[in-house]
Amino acid sequence: MNRLPNIKNIIAVASGKGGVGKSTTAVNLTLALAKEGYRAGILDADIYGPSQPLMLGATERPDVKNKKVQPVIRHGIQSMSIGYLIDEKAPMAWRGPMVSMALQQLLNDTEWDNLDFLVIDLPPGTGDVQLTLAQKIPVNGAVIVTTPQDLALLDARRASEMFRKVNVPVLGVIENMSTHICSNCGHEEAIFGSGGGKRLADQYQIDLLGALPLDIHIREETDSGSPTVIKNPESQNSKIYREIAQKIVTKLNAQEKSSSINFPKITIKND
């Protein structure tokens, strides 16, 4: 597959099941990439349940110029979501092929402005959207989001296996809700268990990119339309998101270098 014009790298953020904080992670990762000085954007690929407009505090309809949809700009990043194009109460009663087509249209009909990184916030699971992504979109790598509990890890393994079978490199695992932080006393407790993300990373010989706590501030900041990296940039949680972004950039750079092998030039002479 050829690279898309105006997009250098595409990163898929996935999870095996819902409720693990994948979309929150995706938007904060995109904002962290922007904080690191890159031109970043996010594509909300969850057609049935788009959440990025709320998380970014964006409600306006995108402009259309020369038959191209203009990305909605918020907090210094470009964004596109089906949520910008429909009424928020409208049910998306679409079958799989329609959803796959909608994803491709959102990606290809948006006039992305010279992005270094486009983060795709995938719906949970391993269905039509994920397969469309692997078969039709030149993804540079995927990031798996999970929680430490065994049920989430079981589904995260399925997501990892899917990407391996379609030859999309898995860049690493992010463990969300790693510990719970009490808002009153600051006490940390591993209510969902511990070490799950590390076990998953070890099983598939990939890196644990970072671990985020179950922190009420992350939820409040995201629900308010100003995610953590923007609302509280000096917080420990923001630093973790930025460290994860730096690790992903390093991995993609190494991946690009390893794929561009310099072969010796062969010269044929008639002696």
pLDDT tens sequence across 98-134: 888 888 899 999 999 999 999 999 988 767 777 777 7
Query: Which pLDDT belongs to residue 270?
Result: 53
Query: Does the structure show a pLDDT above 50 at 41?
Result: yes
Phi-psi label, residue 68: left if phi above 0, alpha if psi -120 to 50, beta otherwise: beta
Query: Which pLDDT belongs to residue 263?
Result: 42
Q: Which of 53-62, 73-82, 215-224, 253-262 has the lowest mean pLDDT?
A: 253-262
Angle (CA) 230-235-237 rounded to 5° is 85
Over residues 21-47, mean pLDDT? 95
Full-model pTM: 0.88
Residues 6+ apart with CB under 8 A from 189: 179, 180, 182
Q: What is the DSSP letter of 83?
A: G
Does 7-259 carry CATH code 3.40.50.300? yes
Q: Which of 5-9, 44-48, 97-101, 121-125 has the lowest mean pLDDT?
A: 97-101
Domain boundaries of the chain, sorted by first residue: 7-259
Angle (CA) 204-206-207 rounded to 5° is 140
Of 63, 60, 165, the C-alpha closest to 109 is 63
Query: Which pLDDT belongs to residue 158?
Result: 80
> Residue 97's Cα: distance from chain center in Å?
22
Helix (H) or strand (E) holding 81: strand 77-81
Give the DSSP per-residue string, 144-165. EEE-SSHHHHHHHHHHHHHHHH
- Alpha carbon distance 201, 180 (integer Å): 21
Query: Does the structure show a pLDDT above 80 at 93?
Result: no
Angle at which helices 22-35 and 236-259 cross, to 10°: 80
Query: Which pLDDT belongs to residue 9?
Result: 95
Query: Does the structure show a pLDDT above 80 at 246?
Result: yes
Angle at which helices 96-108 and 128-136 cross, to 10°: 40
Q: Which pLDDT band, with edges at 50, 70 and 90, does 224 fall under?
A: very high
Helix (H) or strand (E) holding 106: helix 96-108
Rounded to 5 degrees, φ, ψ at 268 are: -105, 125
Residue 57 and residue 27 in contact, taking contact as beta carbons nearer than 8 Å = no
Residue 159 and residue 14 in contact, taking contact as beta carbons nearer than 8 Å = yes
- For 47, 97, 121, 197, the CA distances from 51, given in Å and listed in that order, are 9, 21, 9, 25
Over residues 175-186, mean pLDDT? 80
Over residues 163-172, mean pLDDT? 87
